[in-house]
Each structure stands twice: as structure tokens, then as C-alpha cells.
Amino acid sequence: MALVNPSFIDEVKRSDEFNASACMNCGVCSAICPMGIELLPRKLFRYVLLGIGEKVLNNIEAIYSCLLCKMCEVNCPAKVHIAENVRSLRYVINKKVFKI
Ligand code: SF4
Ligand code: SF4
């Protein structure tokens, strides 16, 4: 069972750039991603907003597979700051998991 931690969003949200809530789950990002990263950003960003940090931390490989190429971002109809959001996730993982 996934545990909900309402403060997880505060840990991830380093700045106002984290705007995942604008995502309308259209699927453009997943369709266009050169790495075929199905998880980003539709599921992972939603996990953050819901406070399910455990699910985010279970997908470290996908988070670090992102090239930060912004192919998804420039085509996102909701103007979600996808690359910046991924950087925010990496920031938290670096602190929590890798202790750096
Ligand atoms: S393209 Fe934008 S709005 Fe569509 S699923 Fe991806 S992040 Fe959400
Ligand atoms: S920024 Fe990351 S998630 Fe977006 S298209 Fe590039 S590799 Fe895929």
C-alpha cells in the first residue's frame, strides 16, 4: 500500500517552476519522448502532487533516463515545465537516496 506524505510536494518544489498541476494527461509527452519514457511526466508528477513519494523513489531509473532535451516540453499544450520538474525530482533523490 502506498503511503501519502502531504509534505512531499514541499520537498520537491524548489521554486515556482514546479507546475505539474497544469498537466491534463494528454499523453503528448509520452508519445514524443525519444527515450520512450512513458512514466514522465504524467504519472511521476502526479505522484508528487498526491504526496506518494514512495512511487517516485521507486522510479529512479526513469527519472535519470530523461535527457532533459525538452522535446516533450516544447510540445506540451499545458506548458508544463517538464525538464525543470525532472531536475527538481533529481534534487530530492540526490538528497534522500544518494545523500549528496
Ligand atoms: S504533454 Fe503536457 S499536458 Fe500532456 S501529459 Fe505531458 S505534461 Fe501533461
Ligand atoms: S525532456 Fe526527458 S521526458 Fe521530455 S522528451 Fe526529453 S527525454 Fe523525454
Atom of ligand 2 nearest to the CA of 67: 7
Q: Give me the pLDDT at residue 100, please.
A: 87
Cβ atoms 93, 30 nearer than 8 A: no
Q: Give me the pLDDT at residue 26, please.
A: 92
pLDDT in tens, the chain (100 residues): 677 887 888 888 765 667 888 899 899 998 999 998 877 777 888 899 899 988 888 899 989 999 999 999 999 999 999 999 999 899 889 988 898 8
Atom 3 (ligand 1) nearest CA: 23
Atom 5 (ligand 1) nearest CA: 25
- The model's pTM is 0.88
Sign, CA dihedral 77-14-7-90, equals positive
